[in-house]
């Protein structure tokens, strides 16, 4: 770095007068011509990067310095000027100096200089950028024959039989004595017979045909075997004829519990504490916090939370905004907790006590209000921060270490051979263009583009140009950025140039036959262009990176590695370049989304790392072809570009004394032990965290949680979104079970299992997940079975009745299922990245999708939205649900599979498809579109409604006919999780297995 330290003290930035600017010949107005020999160089790569921790206990501190640029596009905004260069200025937002930020344990970054400076972009003469006419850049690599990119519609993996089994080995487990009744007040529970009248069992029991032997033993519905009566609120049980030695399991599959209504947000959480934030923002795996280490360890399931800070709320339920103005935000002096509904006021309103650390704080004069006879502030109802669990504070300047940056979108597009052929370029260019008016942040929004194959192509988008100018850099070893001031432009000012570029982009590379991909060098170039402002980097990758730094090799297809200790290595990046780049990107507030399109191995394990540590997302369209997948890409890219996004964010979850969040799971990078760095985070991202007890015994009765997300809004305001919730401390295991939230538990188990696949064999990951479920059920059984003589019955808590089924579904999910042959490696990795970020509801739907019969509705129903409910209900995910005269939709939130029964009325299929399905063996080529008849309109209306119920992804319909093999197996049958398939158990067998093993120590 020595050669860069002369001249300017720190980051040289973009020179006020770039050395080549004056020397360059006048700009031509020829489209896509460079303005002449461009000089410049890249003096360093990413050497400045410090060692970073990846979701470990801590990460190195923010970058050392930030020096303003004096020229360039940023100056066009009417935002405050940067401080002078001498003032050290990290781009990351830590707590302001002098005012402890999110926690006193995090020192303010100002003045920290422990990291070497960021990579500078200096400009030494290097006249080697050629003039390039519009069109594909010169090919300076040997051309290889074009590789066909045959469209194929397979979004699902094949699912051939695997030899995996469901036989975890279980250590012996000690008997557990019954525990005393809970010492906390119980919330009203619908199953609390003694306290408030008995409520009938859930519909699953009512809907099944009961007989004497195969009964679902809801207490009170059958004669109790022992003194069960007193336990009606406690558990449900299944009668199984599986006493040891019995050959025939007497379990009626119809009686098994199924989550046919999807996710149900827990009520107990808000019933007991009505001031809590809505569960859409925060859910606990159990809202009964164990009071001791011993109780904690008997729970076996994760104790923790799923946080979805920017969850979309319906109209009228949005998070209220509060601006304290010059008074500043009211926070606890000691622990920095934000004022919230659970703080208490005293001393006539002059003091307030922090609910997290119990410190008595002064109420600032401007915030003072008298208390009423009950000790409530008289202005309580006018104070959203005191009357509700979610609030958004407008942050004053102390919460900024530089002015809020404008929203920035930078597109890094691989234009090698298949980009044009597959139609990807055209869809991407048109979609971006169609979204330009809706990009957040007008009129400050910044935009830029970079394309690459074996060379890197920059585009000058300066507003004074009529057409963009293309500059090609072919030196991949020593990347430099030509014309750094005009590669990122203000969208409003350069709109015409951007439009012209997007109009031309597809045709420019339509006939490109270059098969190489200099991805790594291009990524570094994008980083150099973006790193002063930060923002969102969208990567569109069509092939395995093959040239320059970060080049990858074909390593994904070695089946011999599976089942060995090296298996997991395939699922993590091989080249440290990717983690290092991710660390640098996060540090400079750049969030990455990766779009991958190839049907060949692209090493998503490596590419996805860029999204994983920058708060981003991986979109995967294997074998993309625009005629088949175009609509999905259009929708999802548009959603990505226009959804609510929080920029330059950090998040912290505080909680009361005695408990602490110790592990976090999702897409982010840890900046300290508990501060999550999120360069760009949006309304589709959720995070999970695990709680641990710091003391052997909690003496408080309530634990409080507070999630704080500090971010820059698209409009350029610094804000803090705060969600606060309380949960009771309990001393009774039964109470923990009663207050359990299966959705949150499954979210944590999923994330833990996927993470385990990165360090262990798939089999190990599956088994350890299942073992936790099993231990939990066994522990529960031990609580009740012996003293109530429940013998051979399977018993389980009402709150966890779906847990075994979700566990089975997770076992069969794409990231975890089978072995080598059961999912392609990229597909596995992509699914893993996706599932790590999903909110609870979406994850549960992916694990247990809806299956609905629709032919009757199409024939008889009206087009009214609610009429559909009269005709259809969700069905168990099993082939037994499929009638060969029926038409069904399978919807996992990511795609629709539409299944045509063999005996379906030909009128229906003709109306919907315009062909007679019986004479049409292969539906893979049939694309569903609206036809001019009622039935078709009804179906399309239905699909639209399903999509609108969760707008994050676009479900592309795939059609399949009964017995159309292998497509039927691939698309549908392998995903019917209740069936025995691919060497895995069906639901009934699985329950029997769990039951047998849970009994072992009972
Ligand atoms: Zn405090």
- Rounded distance from Cα 358 to ligand 1 centre (Å): 6
- Rounded distance from Cα 376 to ligand 1 centre (Å): 20
- Rounded distance from Cα 328 to ligand 1 centre (Å): 17
- Rounded distance from Cα 62 to ligand 1 centre (Å): 25
- Rounded distance from Cα 704 to ligand 1 centre (Å): 11
Consecutive 10-residue averages of pLDDT for the chain (1002 residues): 33 33 31 32 32 39 35 32 36 38 35 35 39 43 34 32 33 31 32 29 28 30 32 53 42 87 82 93 96 95 98 93 94 97 97 96 96 94 96 92 94 96 97 97 96 97 94 92 90 97 96 96 97 97 96 84 87 95 97 96 97 98 95 97 95 94 96 94 97 92 97 96 97 94 98 97 95 93 72 82 96 94 94 98 97 93 73 92 97 96 92 82 85 94 93 94 91 94 88 86 54
- Rounded distance from Cα 401 to ligand 1 centre (Å): 24
- Rounded distance from Cα 243 to ligand 1 centre (Å): 55
Would you call 710 helix, strand, or coil by DSSP? Answer: strand
- Rounded distance from Cα 945 to ligand 1 centre (Å): 46
With CA atoms as reference, report the closest residue to 448 among 488, 481, 492.
488
Distance CA 269, CA 283 (A): 8
- Rounded distance from Cα 248 to ligand 1 centre (Å): 60
With CA atoms as reference, report the closest residue to 219 among 243, 204, 238, 203.
238
- Rounded distance from Cα 607 to ligand 1 centre (Å): 41
- Rounded distance from Cα 361 to ligand 1 centre (Å): 8
- Rounded distance from Cα 98 to ligand 1 centre (Å): 18
pTM of the complete model: 0.79
- Rounded distance from Cα 727 to ligand 1 centre (Å): 17
Distance CA 944, CA 318 (A): 25
Residues 6+ apart with CB under 8 A from 26: 35
- Rounded distance from Cα 694 to ligand 1 centre (Å): 17
With CA atoms as reference, report the closest residue to 610 among 46, 11, 14, 73.
46
- Rounded distance from Cα 278 to ligand 1 centre (Å): 23
Two tokens, residue 135: 């069109």
- Rounded distance from Cα 355 to ligand 1 centre (Å): 7
- Rounded distance from Cα 914 to ligand 1 centre (Å): 67
Around ion ligand 1, which residues have CB less than 5 A away?
332, 334-335, 337, 354, 356-357, 359
Q: What's the pLDDT score for residue 917?
A: 75
- Rounded distance from Cα 660 to ligand 1 centre (Å): 14
Residue 517, CA distances (Å) to 68, 205, 580, 648 in order: 33, 58, 20, 30
- Rounded distance from Cα 429 to ligand 1 centre (Å): 51
- Rounded distance from Cα 299 to ligand 1 centre (Å): 29
Peptide bond between residue 371 and the one before it cis (omega within 30 degrees of 0)? no
- Rounded distance from Cα 357 to ligand 1 centre (Å): 4
Rg (alpha carbons) of the chain, rounded to whole number: 30
- Identify whether the C-beta of residue 399 lies closer than 8 Å to the C-beta of residue 93: yes
**Torsion angle of C-alpha atoms 204, 208, 214, 219, degrees rounded to 10:** 50
Q: What's the pLDDT score for residue 919?
A: 72
- Give, to the nearest 10 degrees, the angle between helix 840-847 and helix 803-811: 70
- Rounded distance from Cα 926 to ligand 1 centre (Å): 62
Distance CA 135, CA 129 (A): 16
- Rounded distance from Cα 674 to ligand 1 centre (Å): 17
DSSP labels for 352-414? EE-TTT--EEEPPGGG---B-TTS-BTTGGG-HHHHSSEEEEEP-GGG-SSPPPPPEEEEEEE
- Rounded distance from Cα 699 to ligand 1 centre (Å): 17
Distance CA 219, CA 229 (A): 7
- Rounded distance from Cα 703 to ligand 1 centre (Å): 13
- Rounded distance from Cα 103 to ligand 1 centre (Å): 10
Q: What's the pLDDT score for residue 671?
A: 92
Two tokens, residue 130: 């050629």
Would you call 9 helix, strand, or coil by DSSP? Answer: coil
- Rounded distance from Cα 334 to ligand 1 centre (Å): 5
- Rounded distance from Cα 274 to ligand 1 centre (Å): 22
- Rounded distance from Cα 691 to ligand 1 centre (Å): 19
- Rounded distance from Cα 339 to ligand 1 centre (Å): 9
Distance CA 643, CA 683 (A): 7
Instruction: Give the containing element (helix H, strand E) for 620.
Output: strand 617-620
- Identify whether the C-beta of residue 490 lies closer than 8 Å to the C-beta of residue 436: no
- Rounded distance from Cα 671 to ligand 1 centre (Å): 22
Residue found under tokens 């590695």: 561
- Rounded distance from Cα 578 to ligand 1 centre (Å): 39
566 phi, psi to nearest 5 deg:
-95, 0
- Rounded distance from Cα 109 to ligand 1 centre (Å): 22
- Rounded distance from Cα 652 to ligand 1 centre (Å): 15
Distance CA 877, CA 850 (A): 8
DSSP labels for 819-885? SGGGS-HHHHHHHHHHHHH--HHHHHHHHS-EEEE-HHHHHH--S-TTHHHHH--B--SSGGG--TT
- Rounded distance from Cα 362 to ligand 1 centre (Å): 12
- Rounded distance from Cα 360 to ligand 1 centre (Å): 8
- Identify whether the C-beta of residue 804 lies closer than 8 Å to the C-beta of residue 749: no
- Rounded distance from Cα 705 to ligand 1 centre (Å): 12
Distance CA 477, CA 483 (A): 19
Distance CA 871, CA 891 (A): 17
Question: Angle at the Cα of 362 (from 359 to 366), degrees rounded to 5?
Answer: 145
- Rounded distance from Cα 356 to ligand 1 centre (Å): 5
Two tokens, residue 112: 């920290």
- Rounded distance from Cα 353 to ligand 1 centre (Å): 8
- Rounded distance from Cα 620 to ligand 1 centre (Å): 44
- Rounded distance from Cα 329 to ligand 1 centre (Å): 14
- Rounded distance from Cα 655 to ligand 1 centre (Å): 10
- Rounded distance from Cα 354 to ligand 1 centre (Å): 5
Distance CA 680, CA 732 (A): 41
- Rounded distance from Cα 654 to ligand 1 centre (Å): 10
Classify burial at 379, counting beta carbons within 10 Å of its beta carbon; exposed 0-12, middle 13-18, buried 19 or more. Answer: middle
Residue found under tokens 């641990």: 692
Two tokens, residue 581: 């780049």
- Rounded distance from Cα 106 to ligand 1 centre (Å): 15
- Rounded distance from Cα 659 to ligand 1 centre (Å): 14
- Rounded distance from Cα 317 to ligand 1 centre (Å): 28
Residue found under tokens 């916090």: 289
Residues 6+ apart with CB under 8 A from 567: 561, 761, 762
With CA atoms as reference, report the closest residue to 62 among 589, 608, 702, 687.
589
- Rounded distance from Cα 345 to ligand 1 centre (Å): 14
Classify burial at 635, counting beta carbons within 10 Å of its beta carbon; exposed 0-12, middle 13-18, buried 19 or more. Answer: middle
Distance CA 343, CA 658 (A): 18
- Rounded distance from Cα 335 to ligand 1 centre (Å): 4
- Rounded distance from Cα 336 to ligand 1 centre (Å): 6
Would you call 175 helix, strand, or coil by DSSP? Answer: coil
- Identify whether the C-beta of residue 793 lies closer than 8 Å to the C-beta of residue 992: no
HSE, CB side, 13 Å, CA atoms: give it for residue 143.
10
- Rounded distance from Cα 656 to ligand 1 centre (Å): 9
- Rounded distance from Cα 343 to ligand 1 centre (Å): 9
- Rounded distance from Cα 657 to ligand 1 centre (Å): 10
- Rounded distance from Cα 112 to ligand 1 centre (Å): 26
Q: What's the pLDDT score for residue 621?
A: 97
3-state SS of 867-890? HHHHHCCECCCCHHHCCCCCEEEE
- Rounded distance from Cα 331 to ligand 1 centre (Å): 8
Instruction: Give the containing element (helix H, strand E) for 452.
Output: strand 446-452
- Rounded distance from Cα 94 to ligand 1 centre (Å): 19
- Rounded distance from Cα 92 to ligand 1 centre (Å): 25
């Amino acid at each position: 770095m020595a050669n860069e330290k002369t001249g300017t003290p720190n980051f040289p930035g973009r020179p006020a007068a770039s050395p080549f600017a004056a020397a360059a010949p006048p700009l031509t107005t020829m489209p896509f011509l460079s303005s002449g020999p461009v000089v410049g160089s890249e003096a360093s790569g990413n050497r400045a990067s410090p060692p970073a921790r990846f979701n470990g206990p801590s990460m190195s501190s923010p970058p050392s310095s930030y020096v303003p640029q004096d020229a360039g596009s940023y100056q066009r905004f009417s935002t405050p000027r940067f401080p002078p260069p001498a003032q050290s200025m990290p781009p990351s937002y830590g707590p302001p100096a002098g005012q402890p930020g999110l926690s006193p344990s995090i020192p303010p970054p100002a003045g920290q200089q422990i990291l070497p400076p960021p990579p500078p972009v200096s400009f030494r003469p290097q006249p080697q950028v050629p003039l390039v006419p519009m069109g594909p850049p010169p090919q300076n690599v040997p051309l290889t024959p074009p590789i066909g990119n045959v469209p194929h519609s397979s979004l699902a993996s094949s699912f051939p039989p695997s030899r995996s089994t469901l036989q975890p080995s279980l250590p012996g487990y000690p008997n557990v004595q019954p525990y005393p009744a809970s010492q906390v007040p119980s919330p009203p529970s619908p199953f609390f017979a003694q306290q408030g009248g008995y409520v009938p069992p859930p519909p699953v029991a009512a809907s099944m045909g009961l007989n004497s032997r195969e009964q679902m033993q809801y207490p009170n519905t059958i004669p109790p075997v022992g003194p069960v009566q007193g336990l009606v609120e406690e558990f449900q049980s299944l009668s199984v004829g599986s006493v040891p030695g019995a050959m025939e399991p007497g379990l009626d599959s119809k009686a098994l519990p199924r989550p046919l209504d999807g996710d149900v947000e827990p009520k107990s959480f808000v019933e007991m504490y009505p001031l809590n934030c809505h569960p859409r923002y925060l859910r606990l795996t159990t809202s009964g916090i164990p009071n001791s280490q011993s109780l904690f360890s008997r729970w076996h399931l994760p104790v923790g939370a799923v946080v979805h800070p920017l969850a979309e709320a319906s109209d009228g339920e949005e998070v209220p905004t509060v601006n304290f103005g010059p008074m500043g935000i009211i926070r606890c002096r000691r622990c920095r907790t934000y004022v919230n509904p659970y703080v208490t006021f005293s001393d006539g309103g002059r003091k307030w006590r922090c609910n997290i650390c119990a410190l008595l704080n002064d109420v600032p004069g401007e915030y003072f209000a008298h208390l009423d006879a009950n000790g409530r502030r008289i202005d309580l109802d006018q104070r959203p921060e005191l009357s509700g669990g979610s609030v958004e504070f407008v942050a004053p300047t102390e919460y900024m270490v530089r002015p809020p940056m404008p929203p920035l979108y930078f597109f890094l597009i691989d234009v090698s051979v298949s980009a044009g052929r597959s139609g990807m370029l055209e869809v991407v260019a048109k979609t971006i263009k169609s979204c330009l008016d809706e990009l957040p942040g007008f009129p400050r929004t910044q935009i830029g583009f970079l394309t690459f194959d074996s060379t890197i192509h920059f585009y000058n988008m300066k507003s004074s140009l009529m057409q963009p100018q293309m500059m090609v850099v072919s030196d991949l070893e020593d990347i430099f950025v030509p014309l750094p001031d005009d590669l990122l432009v203000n969208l409003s000012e350069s709109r015409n140039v951007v439009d012209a570029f997007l109009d031309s982009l597809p045709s420019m590379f339509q006939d490109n036959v270059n098969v190489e991909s200099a991805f790594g060098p291009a990524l570094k170039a994008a980083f150099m262009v973006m790193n002063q402002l930060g923002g969102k980097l969208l990567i569109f990758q069509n092939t395995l990176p093959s040239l320059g730094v970060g080049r990858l090799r074909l390593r994904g297809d070695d089946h011999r590695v599976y089942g060995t200790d090296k298996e997991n290595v395939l699922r993590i990046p091989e080249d440290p370049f990717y983690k290092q780049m991710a660390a640098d990107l996060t540090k400079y507030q750049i969030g990455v989304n990766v779009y991958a399109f190839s049907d060949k191995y692209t090493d998503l394990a490596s590419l996805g790392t860029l999204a994983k540590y920058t708060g981003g997302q991986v979109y995967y369209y294997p074998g993309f072809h625009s005629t088949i997948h175009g609509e999905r890409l259009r929708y999802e890219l548009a959603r990505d570009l226009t959804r609510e996004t929080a920029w330059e964010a950090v998040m912290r979850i505080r909680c009361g004394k005695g408990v602490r969040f110790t592990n976090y799971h999702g897409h982010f990078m840890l900046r300290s032990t508990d501060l999550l760095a999120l360069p760009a985070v949006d309304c589709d991202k959720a995070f999970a965290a695990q709680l641990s007890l710091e003391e052997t015994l909690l003496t408080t009765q309530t634990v409080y949680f507070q999630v704080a997300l500090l971010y820059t809004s698209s409009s350029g305001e610094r804000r803090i979104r705060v969600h606060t919730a309380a949960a009771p401390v309990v001393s009774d295991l039964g109470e923990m079970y009663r207050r359990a939230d299966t959705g949150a538990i499954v979210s944590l188990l999923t994330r833990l299992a996927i993470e385990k696949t990165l360090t262990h064999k798939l089999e190990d990951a599956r088994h350890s997940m299942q073992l936790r479920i099993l231990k939990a059920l066994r522990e529960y059984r031990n609580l009740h079975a012996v003293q109530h003589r429940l013998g051979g019955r399977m018993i389980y808590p009402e709150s966890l009745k779906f847990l075994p089924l979700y566990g089975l579904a997770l076992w069969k999910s794409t990231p975890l299922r089978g072995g080598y042959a059961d999912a392609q490696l990229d597909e596995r990795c992509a699914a893993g990245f996706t599932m790590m970020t999903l909110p609870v509801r979406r994850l549960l739907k992916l694990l247990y999708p809806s299956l609905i019969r629709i032919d009757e509705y199409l024939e008889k129903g009206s087009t009214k939205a609610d009429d559909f409910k009269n005709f259809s209900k969700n069905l168990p995910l099993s082939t037994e649900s499929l009638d060969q005269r029926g038409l069904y939709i399978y919807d996992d939130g990511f795609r629709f599979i539409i299944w045509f029964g063999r005996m379906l009325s030909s009128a229906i299929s003709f109306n919907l498809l315009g062909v007679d399905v019986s004479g049409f063996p292969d539906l893979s080529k049939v694309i569903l579109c609206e036809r001019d008849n009622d039935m078709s309109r009804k179906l399309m209306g239905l699909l639209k409604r399903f999509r609108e119920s969760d707008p994050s992804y676009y479900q592309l319909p795939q059609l399949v006919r009964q017995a159309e093999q292998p497509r039927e197996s691939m698309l549908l049958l392998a995903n019917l999780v209740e069936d025995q398939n691919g060497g895995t158990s069906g639901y009934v067998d699985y329950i029997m297995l769990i039951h047998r093993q849970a009994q072992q120590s009972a």
